[in-house]
Amino acid sequence: MKTKVLWGKDLAQEVIQRVASQIKVLKTTVGRMPGLAVVLVGNDPPSQIYVSHKTRACERAGIRSLGHHLSSHTTMEEILYLIQRLNTQEEVDGILVQLPLPPHLNQSKILGSIDPNKDVDGFHPYNMGKLSLGEESIAPCTPKGVMALLDYYGIPVEGREVVVVGASNIVGKPLALMLVNRMATVTICHIMTKDLAIHTQRAEIVFTATGVPHLVKRDMVREGAIIVDIGISRKQGKIVGDADFQGLQGWARAITPVPGGVGPMTVAMLMENTLQAFRMRARTR
Amino acid sequence: MKTKVLWGKDLAQEVIQRVASQIKVLKTTVGRMPGLAVVLVGNDPPSQIYVSHKTRACERAGIRSLGHHLSSHTTMEEILYLIQRLNTQEEVDGILVQLPLPPHLNQSKILGSIDPNKDVDGFHPYNMGKLSLGEESIAPCTPKGVMALLDYYGIPVEGREVVVVGASNIVGKPLALMLVNRMATVTICHIMTKDLAIHTQRAEIVFTATGVPHLVKRDMVREGAIIVDIGISRKQGKIVGDADFQGLQGWARAITPVPGGVGPMTVAMLMENTLQAFRMRARTR
Chain A contact set for B192 (CB, 8 A): 158-159, 183-185
| B220 touches B178 (CB < 8 A) | no
What is chain A's Cα-based Rg? 19
Pick from A155, A175, A151: which is nearest to A165 by CA? Answer: A175
Give me the half-sphere count of Cα atoms (radius 13 Å) on the Cβ side of residue B106.
Answer: 10
Q: Which member of B108, B129, B199 has the closest CB to residue A132?
A: B129
Amino acid at A125: P
What is this structure's pTM? 0.97
| ipTM of the complex as predicted | 0.96
Gap between the Cα atoms of B111 and A182, Å rounded:
22
Pairing relationship of beta strands A238-240 and A233-235 according to DSSP bridges: antiparallel
Q: Which residue of chain B is at minimal alpha-carbon distance from A125?
A: B129
Chain A contact set for B203 (CB, 8 A): none
- Judged on CB neighbours under 10 Å (0-12, 13-18, 19+), A53 is middle
Average pLDDT over every residue of A70-82: 98
Give SS3 for B129.
helix
Mean pLDDT of chain B: 97
Confidence of residue A234 (pLDDT cuts 50, 70, 90): confident
For residue A285, the model assigns a pLDDT of 62
Chain B contact set for A133 (CB, 8 A): 108, 123, 125, 128, 169, 173
Would you call A133 and B194 a contact, using CB atoms and an 8 Å cutoff? Answer: no
Chain B contact set for A158 (CB, 8 A): 192
Gap between the Cα atoms of B221 and B211, Å rounded:
18
Active site includes A10? no
Would you call A180 and B167 a contact, using CB atoms and an 8 Å cutoff? Answer: yes
What are the residues whose beta carbons fall under 8 Å from the beta carbon of A202, sequence distance 6 or more? Answer: A161, A163, A187, A222
Q: Which member of A129, A158, A184 has the closest CB to residue B125?
A: A129
Would you call B133 and A128 a contact, using CB atoms and an 8 Å cutoff? Answer: yes
What DSSP designation does B204 have?
A: S
For residue A150, the model assigns a pLDDT of 98
How close, in Å, is residue B270 to chain A by CA atoms? 20
Mean pLDDT of chain A: 97
For residue A178, the surrounding DSSP H or E stretch is: helix A172-181
| A202 touches A163 (CB < 8 A) | yes
Confidence of residue B285 (pLDDT cuts 50, 70, 90): low
Chain A residues whose C-beta is within 8 A of a chain B C-beta are 108, 124-135, 158-159, 161, 167, 169, 173-174, 176-177, 180, 183-194, 199
The string of pLDDT tens digits covering residues B6-63 is 999 999 999 999 999 999 999 999 999 999 999 999 999 999 999 999 999 999 999 9
The residue from A93, A115, A119, A121 that is catalytic is A121
Gap between the Cα atoms of B241 and B253, Å rounded:
18
CA distances from A68 to A38, A48, A51, A79 (A): 6, 12, 11, 10
Q: Which member of B123, B129, B187 has the closest CB to residue A186?
A: B187
Give the N- to C-terminal CA distance of chain B in Å, as an integer.
Answer: 55
For residue A144, the model assigns a pLDDT of 98
Active site includes A144? no
Active site includes A54? yes
CA distances from B183 to B152, B163, B175 (A): 18, 13, 12
Whether the predicted pLDDT of A174 surpasses 80: yes
The residue from B93, B115, B119, B121 that is catalytic is B121
How close, in Å, is residue A129 to chain B by CA atoms? 4
Domains of chain B: 31-115 (3.40.50.10860), 141-264 (3.40.50.720)
Gap between the Cα atoms of B193 and B179, Å rounded:
20
Q: For B123-261, where are the alpha helices, taking DSSP H only?
A: 125-132, 141-152, 172-181, 196-200, 245-248
Gap between the Cα atoms of B221 and A173, Å rounded:
27
Average pLDDT over every residue of A141-145: 98
Pick from A144, A207, A234, A235: which is nearest to A181 by CA? Answer: A144
Average pLDDT over every residue of A174-192: 98
Gap between the Cα atoms of A83 and A13, Å rounded:
30
Whether the predicted pLDDT of A249 surpasses 70: yes
What are the residues whose beta carbons fall under 8 Å from the beta carbon of B202, sequence distance 6 or more? Answer: B161, B163, B187, B222
What are the residues whose beta carbons fall under 8 Å from the beta carbon of B26, sequence distance 6 or more? Answer: B34, B275, B278, B279, B282
Chain B residues whose C-beta is within 8 A of a chain A C-beta are 108, 123-135, 158-159, 161, 167, 169, 173-174, 176-177, 180, 183-194, 199
Strand segments (E) across A108-180: 161-165
| Total count of residues recorded for chain A | 285
How close, in Å, is residue B229 to chain A by CA atoms? 20
Gap between the Cα atoms of A188 and A4, Å rounded:
25
How close, in Å, is residue A283 to chain B by CA atoms? 19
Strand segments (E) across chain B: 4-5, 35-41, 64-70, 94-97, 161-165, 185-189, 205-208, 226-229, 233-235, 238-240, 254-255
Gap between the Cα atoms of B65 and B93, Å rounded:
10
Give the N- to C-terminal CA distance of chain A in Å, as an integer.
Answer: 55
- Judged on CB neighbours under 10 Å (0-12, 13-18, 19+), B272 is buried
The residue from A93, A98, A229, A244 that is catalytic is A98
